[in-house]
Chain A
Amino acid sequence: MLVWLLRAAAADGLVNEEVKRTVDLSTHLAKISAEILLANQGGSPVQSFTLALEPELGPHLAYVGASVKGEEEEDESLELKETAVHGRSGTFFQVQLPSALAAGGKLRVKVETVLTHVLRPFPSHITQAERQLVVFQGNHYLYSPYPTRSQSTRVRLASKTVESYTKLGNPSKNDEVIEYGPFKDVAPFSQDTMKIHYENNAPFLTISSITRTIEVSHWGNIAVEETIDLRHTGAYLKGPFSRYDYQRQSDSGISSVKSFKTILPASAQDVYYRDEIGNISTSHLQVLEDSVEVEVRPRFPLFGGWKTHYIIGYNLPSYEYLYTLGDQYALKMRLIDHVYDDQVIDHMTVKVILPEGARNVHLDTPYVIDRSPDQLHYTYLDTFGRPVLVATKNNLVEQHIQDMVVHYTFNKILMLQEPLLVVGAFYILFFTVIIYVRLDFSITKDPAAEVRMKVASITEQVLTLVNKRLGLYRQMDEVVNRYKQSRDTGALNSGRKTLEAEHRTLTNDIAALQARLKAEGSDLAEKVGEIQKLDGQVKELVNQSCQESERLVAGKVKKETYITSEKTLAGKRQELISRIDSLLDAL
């Protein structure tokens, strides 16, 4: 059986000449990197080779990448494709080599894998004062379909304190590093459990779900909002949480998480950090040269098993991320962004909200991601909705912070739609108000009110006319005065004539209005008649004073008599005018 297998593997003729593995367990992730010297011992050139992962670790795999270690110290990343190997369990990837590996040739390949949730807290419940211990279970050997000539494994831990570790091949332990090997001539697919139980107080934070919403506006803004569910996945806190100990003793709750740093793009503005009940006031923001750093401090420290939920959002100027050529647009942004160092995201949803009217949407992602059906999003001044791209992916780590590109076409005329909508709405509003004010919408006619209004308008006219007429008398007074000084009879006569003429027209007008008042059946007509009558008397008095002054000028009366008669006349006139006034008031 083994021989057959060996033959099957050796069909490629590939051999792992030398393997240097590094297992980094200093955080809550297991980062396993291996430098493999591949040798083609077969007879034909090889285009690709196969990477394998133990069946136990397969579900925990978040990221795997391979690169060629070039001569010029330049790494060239290789393309990976998931594949299956007949008769073997585990996860397999076919790695395409940049150029065929000739028979007898050698190539140095670097393989990097990141595994999440492989460090199991043990004990699973600890008190506040205790330190967190975790167990890692892995493989001493490189799990590979090819035979390995020589390999060594170096394990980096989070602390010196190690409870136990498997002692295959008598490993050496030096502070935080355990060195295994070298192991010679290991068969393909060989497994031997490596178990390390050690202290790890690194923040065991896991983002159980994140929803990243990117809203693109063609008015120059891209709004990003991340809704995050965060959980401490280390050992559960057992028993009480004492604030006193936490405040006074530095090693109390050492595995708990007080705060962490989120790095936002350098152009991020208007950053907000909140949850369902408002701002989280414990955060700090620092604007650096090449980034904006938010010190995210949850409302309460996160102990094992505790969780929190928050929203962080910011605005970006669109010119940095949105590229355009005519009607063609391309949005190039990070699919997922940094939340904290060594982040683990169990479940991610990305939503890209494009402007209303975007068509021919096409999404380019750096890695495979599940697209959900597109949605529509309605917000300010939308009529037919904005297209929303929805994509999900599970189990992501820092290595997944890569750019995606969204291509779409957008007719620039549509930019005018929203301003026009506002203009139109205001136009309709004002138009309605104008219509409402100008037209009569009462369902019943009120004849009495109409008559009242008519009468009111007529009386107003009467008032102005009467006032004007009274004004005429004053003008006449002036004329008379001037005449008394200049003794110009001509001026007096012409003044008198104009008075007569204007007075007549005014009186006629008033009479006409009076007739109309009468026609409306208003009793005000009588009052107007009375005014007319009084006015006649006033007119007479004016004429009299005019004659008196003529006589004075002609020397027919003495000055004293003139003054007394003038006085009586004026007195009478005043009396009449005041009576007219009171009548006017009564109108």
Chain B
Amino acid sequence: MAEQHTASDCKQRASQGAGGSVSGNGRPNTAAGCGGGGGGLSGGLTQPAGWQSLLSFTILFLAWLAGFSSRLFAVIRFESIIHEFDPWFNYRSTHHLSTNGFYEFLNWFDERAWYPLGRIVGGTVYPGLMVTAGLIHYLLNLLNVTVHIRDVCVFLAPIFSGLTAISTFLLTRELWNQGAGLLAACFIAIVPGYISRSVAGSFDNEGIAIFALQFTYYLWVKSVKTGSVFWTIGCCLSYFYMVSAWGGYVFIINLIPLHVFVLLLMQRYSRRLYIAYSTFYIVGLVLSMQIPFVGFQPIRTSEHMAAAGVFALLQAYAFLQYLKDRLTKQEFQTLFFLGVSLAAGVVFLTVIYLTYTGETAATMATQHHSLAQHMPSLYFSPLPLINPIKPVILNLDTERLFDPVLSAFAVYFAGVMVRLMLTLTPVVCMLSAIAFSSVFEHYLGDDMKRENPPAEDSSDEDDKRNSGNLYDKAGKVRKHVSEQDRPEEGLGPNIKSIVTMLMLMLLMMFAVHCTWVTSNAYSSPSVVLASYNHDGSRNILDDFREAYYWLRQNTDEHARVMSWWDYGYQIAGMANRTTLVDNNTWNNSHIALVGKAMSSNESAAYEIMKSLDVDYVLIIFGGVIGYSGDDINKFLWMVRIAEGEHPKDIRESDYFTPQGEFRVDKAGSPTLLNCLMYKMSYYRFGEMQLDFRTPPGFDRTRNAEIGNKDIRLKHLEEAFTSEHWLVRIYRVKKQENRQALDHKLRNVAAKQKYTSKKVCISCLIIVVIFKYRFFFFFSIGYQMFMQ
């Protein structure tokens, strides 16, 4: 018995020894991570690795599937339809692309927008989205898969979410390990921050841009790791795709230089970095300039200067490195280096500071005022769950710099503008995946019988080069006979299972939460509204499409429709009519003119509308059903924008009561009560009694009885009002035909040759008086009033 005891003793000591040797290397967790699942796809020969790759393939496939199907709420509840505003433009231009071909699209001058100016669409869009959808449609049709371009557009974003999941997996695997990669893929597949811009029907740039973003990061990390021009060129192509897809490419062209800069600061300069960044900068710059909309911006604007600065810095650094090898004056060298890098750093930081505080953020933020597009509270919703874990991660992470740089940058951006939360989402997903993965590695280690490979110090240059092999090695199952049944250190099975259970519950709750948010917050097309009755049955309010389709069918093909710019894209897309202003918002004075027309009184507005050749005016009115996003609620923006350009004619203060309130009832300011927008919104609404408890003309959105119930329109007439009064369209009357008077006169004169001149003249006077009776009555009334 005693001998046995000794033997087991020995084992124990041996295991302790082994443990000590590992911890002596200083990076146990990272190493464990590498050992965790690095073998995976690359070492597909041995049996367990084969299983592993099958497993990861299955998980990725399921993540794709889950991501795809959780984006289909809107399609199932409503239909396969393009959502919101901008997607309608994208859809329309994709339609143009698929019917007329690529070159026609590039040269497309859209005369239906910004009448009378028009818009050069080919040169003012990021064509990546349209080209992607068009290409998919083209390929499918080549294979005789007769899918309508609309369905391609609707389902593009959900399909790309799967690609995003895979590229996130690749990136996280590159940065951490396979397990974390799989978790990250699952997270990004269902995280609401990303779903918000990529539900089925939300055919917008961001839907494909996040994929391009993640894939570019992956290829960048890969090219820095390998230093191979092949990967760098791949990175450039991916960057090119990103540039063609979304204005957010600026994010990449600043982040990568920042990464390089930080690496330089931390003395991590290497040949691979030099190759990767120089190639990336030059090829990427040239490629990005091929997009007509971007043009020469990369060498002109301040957003891109950081990249140029780092490029110069890197060249200087490399040159100094070269000199250092040749020269002996070590001290002089270091001093010189310090001086140069300090100067460059200062320049770089100032550029960054100027860029983001001064220009980009401000310009981008101002554009989206009256559209409720930001939804900050919901954007943040995935974060509370993940945030607490993040600091832990950042502590663990000492070597893979890309991650913290990325996250810091993304957090900064998201702070500047909540819409850019989108770029933060993948980062958060990756970080939390890493956190979960390492937690699981600690606490789920029961059947992990493999031991860590000897962790190399990766800060060492050579080892870093071999890092690819390092991952390969880890896949080998290495059992140490001597430590087959070594007990776990410190953690009882209870704690393990509790922690694991907690983590699993957290994940489960996360999935439930994501589905809930997706289903409730992001799955409304906003073109079709739905309301629910007391018994749960659903009413569909299809007023937008009713009115747009009426315009499409029953107005002249070249009719010009004036509306506030929010509805420009929808009118162009659904009604196929010419608009004055749209969501592109490139011409502020034109918008201001429309705003002025809306906020002036009818006759002043008529002059503007006449000068703009307006045939129809379209407004959104929610007073009947209580829709709060209508034009009266946006009206102050119209006034403000009009005031900005025409401060003499429009003053915002005129539209407020003396107490400074914006009211539509009797207490409202007379200017408001007589402006065109008010009149058009409430025309004949004063007669309407919605229910017995409220007086006629009770506005449900603003909960007020309207102040001006007797509205008469002189130059406009109601052309169409949708079933729930949500959309009202007015026809601008043509000017009266003045020729009729002369013509009639001549007839009279010819017929009554025998009458005396007196009669003739009196006839003339009567006719003239009759013609201008309104004016006469008006002037008489005016004089009486004055007396």
Which A residues lie at the B interface, using CB under 8 A? 239-244, 248, 275-282, 299-300, 305-309, 378-382, 437, 452, 456, 460, 463, 467, 470-471, 474, 477, 481, 484, 563, 566-567, 570-571, 573-574, 577-578, 581-582, 584-586
Contacts and interface: CB of A to CB of B under 8 A. Distances in A.
Interface stretch (B410-418, B473-481, B661-669, B670-678): B473-481
Interface in B65-89: 78-81
A574 B528 CA distance: 76
Contacts of A308: 549, 553
B3 A240 contact: no
Nearest to B525: A278
A307 B553 contact: yes
A300 B549 contact: yes
User: Closest 3 CB pairs between A and B?
Assistant: A243-B721, A240-B717, A240-B718
Nearest to B141: A378
Contacts of A471: 481
A309 B454 contact: no
Given A241-B719, A481-B4, A578-B14, A306 B554 contact: yes
Given A277-B545, A437-B44, 13 more contacts: A243-B718, A244-B688, A248-B688, A278-B80, A279-B78, A299-B542, A308-B549, A474-B481, A566-B6, A570-B7, A574-B14, A581-B482, A585-B21
Interface in B673-710: 684-685, 687-688
Contacts of B21: 582, 585
A474 B13 CA distance: 16
A72 to B, nearest CB: 52
A452 B2 CA distance: 47
Nearest to B479: A467
A278 B88 CA distance: 13
A395 to B, nearest CB: 23
B480 A456 contact: no
B79 to A, nearest CB: 5
Contacts of B482: 470, 577-578, 581
A306 B717 contact: no
Contacts of B720: 241, 243, 300
B81 A460 contact: no
Contact of A380 (B144, B478, B553): B144
Contacts of A586: 454
B554 A574 contact: no
Nearest to A484: B3
A474 B44 CA distance: 33
A452 B476 CA distance: 15
Nearest to A279: B79
Nearest to B466: A452
Contacts of B145: 380
11 contacts: A240-B717, A243-B718, A243-B720, A244-B684, A277-B548, A279-B79, A279-B81, A437-B44, A456-B473, A577-B482, A581-B18
A307 B719 contact: no
Contacts of B725: 243
B146 interface: yes
Contact of B144 (A282, A309, A382, A571): A382
Contacts of A481: 3-4
B605 interface: no
B761 interface: no
Nearest to A425: B143
Contact of B7 (A244, A379, A477, A582): A477
B453 interface: yes
Contacts of A577: 14, 482
For chain A, what secondary structure do more than half of its interface residues adopt (helix, strand, loop), or is it mixed? helix
A307 B2 CA distance: 102
Contacts of B540: 281
Contacts, number: 123
Given A452-B469, A574-B10, A300 B17 contact: no
A584 B480 CA distance: 9
B550 interface: yes
A463 B478 contact: yes
Interface string B1-36: 011101100100110011001000000000000000
A242 B721 contact: yes
Given A242-B718, A484-B3, A581 B44 contact: no
A570 B721 contact: no
Interface string B29-52: 000000000000000100000000
Given A300-B720, A470-B482, A574-B10, A585 B550 contact: no
B388 to A, nearest CB: 36
A241 B721 contact: yes
B731 interface: yes
Contacts of B110: none
B3 A278 contact: no
B554 A244 contact: no
Interface centre among A242, A277, A308, A567 (most CB of B within 10 A): A277
A477 B7 CA distance: 9
A278 B548 CA distance: 12
A566 to B, nearest CB: 7
Given A242-B684, A243-B722, A581-B18, A281 B549 contact: no
Contacts of B687: 244
A578 B17 contact: yes
A578 B14 CA distance: 6
A577 B480 CA distance: 11
Contacts of B550: 299-300, 306
A580 B473 CA distance: 19
Nearest to A452: B469
A276 B553 CA distance: 11
Contacts of A300: 546-547, 549-550, 720, 722
A379 B146 contact: yes
Contact of B476 (A241, A275, A460, A563): A460
Contact of B2 (A277, A282, A470, A563): A563
B574 interface: yes
Contact of A281 (B10, B80, B528, B731): B528
Given A470-B482, A586-B454, A241 B553 contact: no
Nearest to B549: A299
B571 to A, nearest CB: 12
A275 B549 contact: yes
Contacts of B10: 570-571, 573-574
A380 B479 CA distance: 54
B718 A241 contact: yes
A574 B13 contact: yes
Contacts of B718: 240-243
B546 A578 contact: no
Contacts of B573: 277
A202 B721 CA distance: 24
B697 to A, nearest CB: 11
Contacts of B542: 280-282, 299
Contacts of B144: 378-382
Contacts of A240: 717-719, 731
Nearest to A563: B2
A536 B542 CA distance: 88
A477 B482 CA distance: 13
Nearest to A382: B144
A452 to B, nearest CB: 7
Nearest to A282: B542
B731 A378 contact: no
Nearest to A477: B7
B341 to A, nearest CB: 35
Contacts of A477: 7
B81 A578 contact: no
B549 A581 contact: no
Contacts of B685: 244
B475 to A, nearest CB: 11
Contacts of B81: 277-279
A452 B472 CA distance: 12
A541 to B, nearest CB: 12
Given A380-B145, A471-B481, A578-B18, A299 B44 contact: no
Nearest to B480: A581
Contacts of A463: 478
